[in-house]
Amino acid sequence: MKQFLIAALLLISSLIVYSQDITINLPAPVKTGGKPLMEALSDRQSNRNYTGKELDQQTLSNLLWAAHGFNRPDKRTSATSQNKQEMSVYVVMKDRAYLYDAKENKLKLQVSDNNLTASLGQPNISEKAALTLVYVADMSIASNREAGFIDTGAITQNVYLYCASAGLGCVTRASFKRPDLHNILKLKSNEEITVVQAVGHI
Ligand SMILES: Cc1cc2nc3c(=O)[nH]c(=O)nc-3n(C[C@H](O)[C@H](O)[C@H](O)COP(=O)(O)O)c2cc1C
């Protein structure tokens, strides 16, 4: 009986750990503070040298909200052509890729794959960044293909400005291994990775 109870407890605790891993519940984003806009614009720049330190969950939540969160019931911090809302933001941390659910303020694990970081290219950047954001446009929803790329630009600029405001570094990158990353993320043919963006402590 005692052995059965120990086994049951171990099973329950491993299930709790597993469910925490597949969904990261983010704290509510802090929408006040930071540098004034003109100072953030003055500091905006690409950084390629990161310390390797992870982001704490509050910073992660703030970053993602700034990037593509909801600032009105159905509209976001970034503009989207004809309000098509075709963009998704994936967050790659080490060998895991999560999908940002802005409504729920959660990260949902999509894949765990040892080849993820290699598929991001530029290893000197992607191995030291705290995370890499992967922008995916659903081209079957977008007004047209160009709109998917233009809408991505709005998100990447939000991230640049948040990072400048928070003292973090980031860089938008078009040099990644497009087919490899597409396959690893199990994306459909109508989904296109526009660019990726490394973020980290500098
Ligand atoms: C669409 C796009 C793609 C980019 N691709 C890369 C890239 O693959 N690798 C990289 O190191 N930087 C990349 N960059 C960053 C640019 O090199 C950088 O913005 C430029 O040198 C100007 O520097 P700044 O951002 O500090 O003003 C890219 C920027 C944009 C907007």
Q: Is 174 in the pocket of ligand 1 (CB under 6 A)?
A: yes
Is 194 contained in some domain?
yes
Ligand 1 atom with the shortest distance to the CA of 156: 31
Domain residues for the domain of 122 are: 26-201
Q: How far is CA 60 from CA 31, 159, 168, 186, in A?
A: 13, 11, 11, 24
Q: Give the mean model confidence (pLDDT) for residues 75-96.
A: 98
Kindly report the CATH number assigned to the domain that includes residue 195. 3.40.109.10
Report the pLDDT value the prediction gives residue 4, as an integer from 0 to 100. Answer: 67
Is 5 contained in some domain?
no
pTM (two decimals): 0.92
Is 177 contained in some domain?
yes
Is 3 contained in some domain?
no
User: Higher pLDDT residue, 8 or 132?
Assistant: 132
pLDDT-derived band at 97 (thresholds 50, 70, 90) equals very high
pLDDT-derived band at 12 (thresholds 50, 70, 90) equals low
Number of domains in the chain: 1
3-state secondary structure 41-70: HHHCCCCCCCCCCCCCHHHHHHHHHHHHCE
Is 19 contained in some domain?
no
Q: Is 150 in the pocket of ligand 1 (CB under 6 A)?
A: no
